[in-house]
Each structure stands twice: as structure tokens, then as C-alpha cells.
Structure 1
């Protein structure tokens, strides 16, 4: 457990330094520990070190962890991976947040499958800001339509946008995401989230308005390779 606890301390220190450089409060940036491919025991170690927010990308793996860690009632689970339409029910039923919505069909299914007994599912729309064919996400010109659809879905709450800029992306990509985020904020009172920045680029992401940084490697070590599910 010691190395995970120490890694969390180090990452939080990096976030604090990045916030200072950007003249922002550290309270404006939430650390999402990306626990995909890591066993539930490591998630629990991070939990006991004070971490409460965890990101998963693979449904079957996430289901197992959520069940195994159900005794930790204040964990908040975020789905951050590509979404297959036949897996939306699990996301709607098990997660508090989803960061990777990129199609109208997914929005409709999540809204229909979220129980009325639950609080609305918090949604970020994924923008393919670098235009990479290998990555999920909408084009910039598709954002307005999907934002409106999400906002008018009774069991969803539009919280913002998410991006995974390409490796060594230019500052322009981060600037564009910040601009899109600010525009959405002006249109929708519920929008307060720019999910952007990982272990390798958290400083530049925070400098450009990120409110959630998704950190895996720097906390848990190199991720394992598993079959997509």
C-alpha cells in the first residue's frame, strides 16, 4: 500500500504545483484515479489512502470491481472508455459519471436505462480534439447538437466535455478545448467540467482549465494489457 499512498501524494503535489502556475485553486481540480486493468485490491489501497474517485474503461472488469468493493459505499465510479451500445445498461445502472459519450444513440439509451430512483447520470461529451482516427469522440461541429440532446434528457445531467489530446499535442488543442468548455458554460448552467489531462500532460491541461485530471500510471504503475470487453 505504501507505494500507492506515496504516489497519490506525489500526484497531488504535481496538481498543486500546476494550479499555482496557472493561478488556480487546487480545489478546482479533481483527481480521478484511473484504475482500469488494476485489481480491486489496489483500488482499495488507494481508497484507504484517501482517494474516492475512480475511472474504469472496461465494463466486465468494472462490474467485478464494483461488486467486490460494494462495502466502500462512498466510492464514486466514472466510466471513461469507448462505449458499445450493448453495454450502456451497465453504465446507466452502476456509474455516477460517464466521460466518453459520443453518439446520440448512446445518449438516448443511457437516458432510458437510468433508473428514476437514481440521481441523474453525469455526462461529459468526448471531443476528438486532435482528429485521430484511432480515437473515439465527436467532431467540434457535432458538439452543439449532442449537448442539447443531453441537456433535454430527464435522467442525464450535462456536466461538460472530455478529451484525450494526441501525444505531444500542440497547445492549440488545449486552447480549443478550453474555448469549447467556456462556450458550453455560457449556454448551460449545469456545465462545470472539463475532463482533460493524464499522467503525461496534467500541467498543460490544468493551465487550460481542466477540472478533472485522469491519472493512472503515476498512481498504479504501468497498466496491464487485457482483452477489450
Structure 2
């Protein structure tokens, strides 16, 4: 069965994309259903340079290599071919990890850069491109308080998150005049296994989605 099959009319959709996004996708599902929005759950997997997907519980589950530009081109192309227009993208990078500076290695930094920074850049390029023809859409990135408040043990992830924060500040300035809201959500911490936390994040994402243009937020902080 082709779950990306074209529909007769366009339907809005939410794309939850990143690492371990299952809990956040489930938390956003009731809002998507209430507004008749399709929901895509896109999980990072370096095993898939293209797409591996299946229909599951009224959402479309997709595995893709988020740092591969070709995979991102294919993802948003397939979403369009299915008759869906992207209204909201929520990017959840790899969960922050506390690690002593003395334990950092070049290999670790490289892997974390791919999971946090490079994936944000690759996704942003293609998500925003899909929104520009309609001059409408919301793009939210989950981030960390350590992006602006570095602390011992969190310096590596803090530096990478500071890069994402700066990226989203630039995206907001460039694309807000074109109808695209880009927002960085700084979190005090999150657990992909904690549904209560996922629901709080989902509620905040939905609040951003519903903001009128005159009240757009470019950055929010969420404490747990």
C-alpha cells in the first residue's frame, strides 16, 4: 500500500522530526486529529538514506537519514505528492547529555554535531522551502537552556545548541517577512520516555502554532 498516495485535495499536516520523537508525536496526535491535520513522525536513522515508512495509528511513521539532503528532498516531495501541505514542523534533536569536558573526544563531538547541528540545518533548508510557495508555516526547534546559560558538564551540548539558537534567530529574521515563523524553544530538560513532559512540550508547540502573526514568538523558555 502506498501511504504517500496522492489525494484529491490538499490537507494540512504536522511533521515531528528528529531523534526519539515517538512520545512527542503521540502527544501532538490529539491536536492534529481535532484540526483534521495529517501527522508525520519522522525518526532519524542513518540506515536509511532514502525513506522507510509505514502507516501506524492514524499517523505516518517514517525513518530517514536527517543529515542526508537527498533524503530530506524526497521526504517533503512525498508529503506534497500525498496531497499534504506542511503547516507545522517540530524538530527534536538528540536529547542533551551531561559529560565532563575531560571526557570529550573528537568522535563524540562529530556525532553530536550531526545529531544536533547538521540535522537542524538540513531539515530547515527543506522544511522552509516547502512552506515558501504558500508563505505560511511554523518551524519550531526544541533546544536547551544551556544554549544561553552554559554550565559545567553541559559545555559541549551547550555550544551546539547555541549554534542552533543562532540559526533560528537568523531564520526568523529572514523568513518572518515571508510568512514563516521560526521559533527556538529552550527547555530546562526533557526525557523522550516521559509522556507528561512530552505533553507539556506539545501544548507549548500548539500554542505557538496558534499564535497570530502580530504576536509571533521567536524564542520561548519552558521549565519542567
Normalising by the smaller structure, the TM-score range is 0.3 to 0.5
Question: TM-score scaled to structure 1, two decimals?
Answer: 0.39
More strand by share: 2
Question: TM-score scaled to structure 2, two decimals?
Answer: 0.40
